[in-house]
Amino acid sequence: MERHLAAILAADVVGYSRLMGADEAGTLLRLMAHRNEFIDPTIAAHRGRIVKLMGDGALVEFASVVDALACAVAIQSGMAERNQDQPAQQRIEFRIGINVGDVIVEGEDIYGDGVNVAARLEGLAEPGGICISDSVRTAVGSKLPLDYEFLGEQQVKNIAEPVRAYRARLQTGAELPKSVGASKPVKKSRARPLIAGAALAVVVGVLLTWFEPWVPVFEGSPDDVIATPQEEKPSIAVLPFNNVSGDPAQEYFSDGISEDIITDLSRVPGLKVIDRNSSFTYKGKAAKLQQVGIDLGVRYVLQGSIRRAGHRLRITTQLAKTTDGYQLWAERYDREQGDIFALQDEITEKIVSALLIKLSGDEKDLLTSRPTRNFEAYDLFLQGQQHFRAGNKEDNLLAQELYRRAIALDSGFGRAYGAYAVTLAFSFARGWSDRPGETLDRALELAQRAIQLNEFLPQTHWALGYTYMHRKDWDKALAAVQHAVTLVPNFADGYGLLALINNRLSRADEAIELIGKAMKLNPYYTWDYPYNLGRAYYTKGQYGMAVNYLHQALERNEAVTYPRLFLAASYVELGQTEDAAWEITQLQMTNPDMRLLHLANAHQIADEVLMQRFLTDLRKAGLPE
């Protein structure tokens, strides 16, 4: 059980039930706008972490009590300004309570009296006000230009000792020092403002700005915040190894080694491993272990560096705890490059041993199995991975050539066959192939061969499922990808692909649940995660929610096509035809040849009724026939 000292901010919406009862759709829209445009960026700017989402409130953790109180003042001051032009019955106001104390850490949650006291203080706050404990008042001292009003010793529910409470207010005419809180301006969303539409009335009343659809709504009393801690499960992030070779062209190699260690650890039962996409957000950055632990929700971090000179490799590694930086294990290896496979095995085994994880004999054998032991083939494969991720036609063709060369050197390299299959299926999906039917046939042949060569590697089953999806062989696609996540429950991209397949089968609830699993493993997710959520909500007829998530997808990658198509269709359903037409105009700037006929032939929606609704909406938005 881990403990640490933290400042905890508890907040809830004043009169939430009244607001929702009077204007459900309008209240939801205002809450979402406040969060997206102001509250979340303010919390992030003050280095806070939203820990728990509970019905109409939230818990936020801060490493600094000064940051916590400055954030609360900024939120309440900003909300007062945002409410000035709103009718009194439509104003969104918050109560905020802050405490500093010892907390119990379990996974991404925190528990303990430190949390409970913050929740009790929030209940003592005025609408638009802040109530703090004596420990906060003492710790902040005169660091902030605030006035404090002593409220006496408060006897609050389920807390044995009375709580000395204070009301905190910004001094008249004062401003928070610029050194407190944000060090960088927060970039505003490029999303266009939402306009209330009749279709939003279907949104369930419990949804609000603090709620995310993959997180269960907290329906109990504040006493229930201290729940039974989750079962202990070690968690780790592998940060990208630094390339210290002095040659930027070797980045693909250090990245590839890091990714393969992530893959290896993902196969360890009982270990939570953060996905590559999230770990690699720290590439080239001097990351503080404690912040990585908070950001990614992990207890351990593996860091390292790789120097490649001729046929020699020097690899350094360090495994440390994120809570206190304690080093569990560190090593430096000087080897021939052909020893890389044995070295990967050794590093993985050392990590498993340091984390006190017990493996069976079969699990140990599986952990050290390698899709190839041919270094030249492996090196070509890693280069192919780098080109494929570029996502354009030219790099896709280069990746295909590199995979072909890797297979020529090692005809038993199953993972290279699977990667080659994915490049071909991706080429088909983007319309880059001159012979689309032959391309998909070849992709299937390669993916099936990959399974024959390496049936225990999740990426090969993912490749087969991805290929079957583009062939519209839904049952086989689902079975293949489900097998991948059964092999490796940490496989975030597996859950993401399962969500996409379920979306294409109009199974929206299943897609939302699967994206929730993927997001836990990949907190810094790519555009396709909110896209899948937006698409699912379009299927469910919850168009306001669809618009929200589709905008998030475009904020992550504004060049992608399908989020904008579903965004235009959602705007049509909301009656916002001008916004829908604007989205189609933006789409045609980068995809001038996009036509309804192309979508009818190529877009994969198994439900014909939903497909026709989608095409009709796009026709109304102005997409040419």
Answer for the pair 402, 380: CB distance below 8 angstroms, yes or no.
Answer: yes
Q: How far apart are CA 291 and CA 295, in angstroms?
A: 6
- pLDDT band for position 368 (50/70/90)? low
Mean pLDDT of the 135-150 span: 88
pLDDT, tens digit (0-9, with 9 covering 90-100), for 61-118: 998 899 999 999 999 999 999 988 888 788 889 999 999 988 888 777 788 888 889 9
Q: Class of the 2-225 domain?
A: alpha beta
This prediction's pTM: 0.58
Count the neighbouring beta carbons within 10 Å of the beta carbon of residue 161. Answer: 10
Higher pLDDT, 24 or 105: 105
> Which of these ranges, 313-322, 368-377, 401-410, has the smallest mean pLDDT?
368-377
Q: How far apart are CA 613 and CA 541, in angstroms?
A: 11
Burial of 37 (0-12, 13-18, 19+ CB in 10 A): middle
Count the neighbouring beta carbons within 10 Å of the beta carbon of residue 172. Answer: 7
pLDDT, tens digit (0-9, with 9 covering 90-100), for 328-351: 888 888 888 888 888 888 888 888
- pLDDT band for position 25 (50/70/90)? low
- pLDDT band for position 227 (50/70/90)? very low
- pLDDT band for position 509 (50/70/90)? very high
Q: Which CATH number describes the domain made up of 235-367?
A: 3.40.50.10070
CA 305 to chain centre: 26
One DSSP character per residue, 103-147 reads EEEETTEEESHHHHHHHHHHHHSPTT-EEEEHHHHHHHTTSS-EE
One DSSP character per residue, 222-264 reads GGGGSPPPPPP--EEEEPPPEE-SS-GGGHHHHHHHHHHHHHH
Examine the pLDDT at 203 and tell me if it is beyond 50. no
Mean pLDDT of the 21-29 span: 72
Answer for the pair 544, 195: CB distance below 8 angstroms, yes or no.
Answer: no
User: Per-domain residue ranges for the chain?
Assistant: 2-225, 235-367, 394-621
pLDDT for the residue 177: 65
pLDDT, tens digit (0-9, with 9 covering 90-100), for 270-305: 788 888 888 888 888 777 888 888 878 888 999 988
Examine the pLDDT at 316 and tell me if it is beyond 60. yes
Q: How many helices (H) and strands (E) does the chain have?
A: 25, 14
b (16+ CB within 10 A) / e for 578-614: ebbbbbbeebeeeeeebebeebeeeebbeeeebbebb
| Beta strand spans in 345-392 (E) | none
Mean pLDDT of the 432-460 span: 92
Mean pLDDT of the 38-52 span: 87
Answer for the pair 12, 122: CB distance below 8 angstroms, yes or no.
Answer: yes
Mean pLDDT of the 434-451 span: 93
Examine the pLDDT at 44 and tell me if it is beyond 50. yes
Top-ranked range on mean pLDDT: pick from 182-196, 255-269, 455-469: 455-469
CATH, domain 394-621, list 1.25.40.10, 1.10.1050.10, 3.30.300.130, 3.20.20.450: 1.25.40.10
